[in-house]
Amino acid sequence: MDNTLLRAIPKVDELLSHPVLRTRCAALPAPVLTEAVRAELDALRMQIRSGAIAAIPDTAALCTRAAERAERMQQPSLRGVINATGVTLHTNLGRACLSARAAEAVAEAARSYSTLEYDLSTGARGERYSHAAPLLCRLTGAESAMVVNNNAAAVLLILSALTSGGEVVTSRGELVEIGGSFRVPDIMEACGAVLREVGTTNKTHLSDYERAINESTRALMKVHTSNFRILGFTESVSRAELVALAHTHGLPVIEDLGSGCLTSLEPFGIHGEPTVQDSLRAGVDIVSFSGDKLLGGPQAGIILGKKEYIDRLKRHPLTRAMRVDKLTLAALEATLRAYADGTAEREIPTLQMLGLTQNELRGEAEALCALLTARGIDAEVTDEQDPVGGGSVPAQLLPACAVAVRPRSGSVDALEQRLRAYQTPIIVRIAHERVLLGMRTLRREQYDTILKALTETAL
Ligand SMILES: *Cc1c(COP(=O)(O)O)cnc(C)c1O
């Protein structure tokens, strides 16, 4: 170890008063800058001790490194990104984007006191669950509704309140694992219920359910196979048949609908996705689904169904632990209003994006491509297929368009990394040795940033 080198490390104050830091970091809070300088000098000390460097970099260079570190420290961890993957419900990028109306409702609820649990007509305590529930019932025909943190919580609550200590009959073909280790069999075990699997992976008949019912049975459960599809020789029992069987035994049918859309997706070319109304009309007693998948709202677990069961859920101690917060309720109510007003497809970003045709996307791709090629960037329009994402509608891809960019120098992986590291990070896919900008999830006001980023990184 070289002690002379260690002794030559500049002092913290020397860096802090250096013109490079004084000018570049004038706007940064002093404690942040001091911490960044200390961390930079500590890192230097380690490098010297390990013999990794043999000379001290000049002070201006150290200042630049400290400034970069300080700037990184000031960046929020949860940041906005440009989603150029074409995947509408990208779980890692936050699933649904809220509508402008929902975002404003969130801002208002965040800034001000509200009627969260206050009844204006009586001046007495009100109910948190009273906000989104009437709209949900109106839109779906459900008797009663409540909202919790997310759909995983909803399923946990339903099974805990209605089936604990008993058996739940479920088709083997529906024992799914959703991302993040949410597994139907494990959830049941955690709720103190015993899973009675019936049928086989590809086929389950009504008689399979019927044979499994005994005096310990508490419910029949249907789970939407959100993220996979069994093809070929398959058979499952319809909701109506399942309901008829359950009700002759005095049992409820529970359905985890996964995405749970309120409008048919057939016009978007997405087939076979049941709506919430389909499920309730078939007589399912309790349905749950996510707020931030195909509904296009905030993260939430929405529970709809018969009043007698929802009342039991509301009384369960777990409900308090899964309590939905006011910002979520504000966003959800505003999102649901768009459905009630008949403006959902125009207003809700998720539905807007899913509704874009390949021709519309091609028009946008050509416009963006022209801007890029005018700057000398190697770009062309390609036909692609977009997954919907969010573990919904598996095996169905939407016809789409992208702009494919090839870097003038360096690898395509390096370009992807530079775009990811950009001030406003741009998240792209790579295919056929090119970076793809998927048009479905881009907005026109983002083109300038994309243009600037690619001019700086792809030439
Ligand atoms: C997505 C999904 C869940 C989990 O919903 P979250 O809102 O993410 O908690 C549960 N069940 C199914 C079938 C799903 O698709």
The answer to whether residues 251 and 221 touch, using CB atoms and an 8 Å cutoff, is: no
Q: Can you tell me which atom of ligand 1 is nearest the CA of 392?
A: 15
CB within 8 A of 310, min separation 6: which ones? 143, 144, 145, 146, 286, 303, 304
Q: What is the pLDDT of residues 206-237, one digit of tens each?
A: 999 999 999 999 999 999 886 666 666 677 88
Q: What is the pLDDT of residues 321-357, one digit of tens each?
A: 999 999 999 999 999 999 999 999 999 999 999 999 9
Q: Is 328 in the pocket of ligand 1 (CB under 6 A)?
A: no
- Percent of the chain past pLDDT 90, that is, above it, reads 82
Q: Which residue, chain included where needed, has tokens 């043999």?
A: 54
Q: In DSSP terms, which residues pair with 261 in a beta bridge?
A: 275
The answer to whether residues 193 and 220 touch, using CB atoms and an 8 Å cutoff, is: no
Report pLDDT for 229: 67
| Closest Cα to atom 6 of ligand 1 | 151
Checking if the pLDDT of 54 tops 80, the result is: yes
Give 50: exposed, middle or buried? Use CB within 10 Å, 0-12, 13-18, 19+. Answer: exposed
**If you measure from the C-alpha of residue 213 to the centroid of ligand 1, how many angstroms do you get, rounded to a whole number?**
27
For all residues of the chain together, what is the average pLDDT?
93
How far is it, in rounded angstroms, from Cα 109 to Cα 413?
42
Checking if the pLDDT of 31 tops 90, the result is: yes
Residue 20 has phi, psi (to 5 degrees) of: -60, -50
Q: Is 149 in the pocket of ligand 1 (CB under 6 A)?
A: no
Nearest to 259 by CA among 227, 211, 235, 281: 227
Give 63: exposed, middle or buried? Use CB within 10 Å, 0-12, 13-18, 19+. Answer: buried
Report pLDDT for 241: 94
Checking if the pLDDT of 178 tops 90, the result is: no
